[in-house]
Structure 1
Amino acid sequence: MTGGAQQGQELPDSVLARSFGSEAARYDQVRPSYPEAAIQLVLGGLRNARADGRPPRVLDLGAGTGKLTASLVGRQVEVVAVEPDRQMLAVLASRLPQARALAGSAERIPLRDGSVDAIVVGQAFHWFHRPAADHELARVLRPGGVVGLLWNLPDRSVEWVPKLYRASRKSEQPWSEAFDQLDGGLFTELEQASVPSEHLLPGPGGLRDLVHTWSWVITRTEAERDAIDHRLRILISQYAELQAPVVAFPQRTEVLWQYRR
């Protein structure tokens, strides 16, 4: 999982990056969460309390509607969620009042220097502008704190999965499968693991809804989205498992983490 997630691209300011708010409710309903084993790889080394006696503070950065935030709430940690899109943040704040929800970005995190014990990023790091984000992560993270990046990635060995992507866009790999590790002067060497996972969707309608939360679909014209739906109906008709009451979307969760020097 190497390459340049943002090099040569202006993704953080692009129409694609700004598209999700219009589908915030659907995004919250059908996007996958993250397996416990993946989260534990990042947070397993956290101490139970900080030097001042308070629980560790975990920042979910680029939190969206709180798919990853929801898995942090209920642990013995203080949860802060930062998200630039107001519509996404409103959904998060409404359903997860236990988390402190703040407007902000990876390049401008509204927290003090060294005030965070862990930063987690679910399915969002490819939108960050670098190297500015690397320095901002290092600024708010205490020495020895951890940054954990998580991606749910499709299992393209299942026959219908690449066909699904071709039905919705070009067939190349999504750019979220590319990653350059954080600045080595600020963070330790990259550690990485892959966790098997599966995303269960409410039937073929849930699969369609999932596709309509992908940025390259959200930003299409109405006519183009109708054409995508037509191709999806054809694909669904060809596979019995896509017509079931519950559709299992095969994936793996890739986890990458580094520690603040």
Structure 2
Amino acid sequence: MTGGQQDDQRLPDSVLARSFGSEAARYDQVRPSYPAAAIELLLAGLRAGPGEGRVPRVLDLGAGTGKLTAVLLDARAEVVAVEPDRQMLAVLAARLPQANALAGSAEGIPLRDGSVDAIMVGQAFHWFQRPEADRELARVLRPGGVVGLLWNVPDHSVEWVSKLYWASRKRELARAQQFDQLDGELFTEPEQASMPSEHLLPGPQGLRDLVHTWSWVITRSKAEQDAIDHRIRILTSQYAELQAPVVAFPQRTEVLWQYRR
């Protein structure tokens, strides 16, 4: 692993990390999914190797309300979804009963050694405590298995996207989108890809709801949240595309992966 110590605000027991459960229903409604092509890319190596044709057993770690879990199920994987927040996990279990939903964390995965073929992490890796998580991922992953990390990244070159983040008063968190590779003694060198991904929201209200699923907004006071909503209404009035019945939020999906040695 490269890089320095984790910012305290990014640790798994921080106020920001523990904030999402209070917005579990809204999170499930408006947070983006992940491209099926990203999952096919990550599973391709497994399906071409030993045991070809066998249904891969995949761990969705930090699964939230099951955004990535649903895509994995559509890819015909056997899915174990592990999530530390009980409210988020309850939404996942109700929506996707075909997945095996378990309470747990990246630092304490409730699975046997070498019991999964792949581990997928959507928008959650930056919350993991390192290097403890690296060792746990290696423990439950079979040799030759893959860890795939996915992030939906907003396109800040679009003017209104940058203004939206300014309106939300986003804090500068040192490691929010920074990737420090997994332990090189346990995993191969990282590979990566970037692909377009579309996120459609139900009008201007959907855009405001999306903002209210961001940790730095969830943890603000009611007065501060009201002020954010006011700034977003002003922003919406300035762009015709933000007043449409469907708002297209511009983003791309970054995919990084490493194999278990």
> Which residue in the other structure is 1:76 paired with?
76
> Which residue in the other structure is 2:66 paired with?
66
Letter in 2 for 1:7: Q
> Which residue in the other structure is 2:105 paired with?
105
> Which residue in the other structure is 1:180 paired with?
180
**Does the 8 Å contact 1:199/1:251 carry over to 2?**
yes
TM-score (norm 1): 0.94
Q: Which runs of 5+ in 2 are unaligned?
A: none
Where do 1:46-57 residues align within 5 Å?
46-47=46-47, 55-57=55-57
| Alignment partners' CA distance in 2, 1:50 and 1:87 | 38
**Cα distance, 1:197 vs. partner?**
1.1
| Alignment partners' CA distance in 1, 2:209 and 2:136 | 34
**Does the 8 Å contact 1:190/1:258 carry over to 2?**
yes
**Does the 8 Å contact 2:171/2:216 carry over to 1?**
no
**Does the 8 Å contact 1:58/1:120 carry over to 2?**
yes
**Cα distance, 1:200 vs. partner?**
0.3
**Cα distance, 1:63 vs. partner?**
0.1
Letter in 2 for 1:38: A
Count of residue correspondences: 259
Percent identical among aligned pairs is 81
| Alignment partners' CA distance in 2, 1:13 and 1:160 | 33
How far does the alpha carbon of each residue in 1:206-235 deviate from its partner, in whole angstroms, 9 at most, with x for none?
000000000000000000000000000011
Where do 1:177-256 residues align within 5 Å?
177-256=177-256
> Which residue in the other structure is 1:7 paired with?
6
How far does the alpha carbon of each residue in 1:28-52 deviate from its partner, in whole angstroms, 9 at most, with x for none?
000000011111221111238986x
* Cα distance, 1:249–1:175 mapped onto 2, change above 3 Å: farther
TM-score (norm 2): 0.94
Letter in 1 for 2:82: V
**Cα distance, 1:174 vs. partner?**
7.6
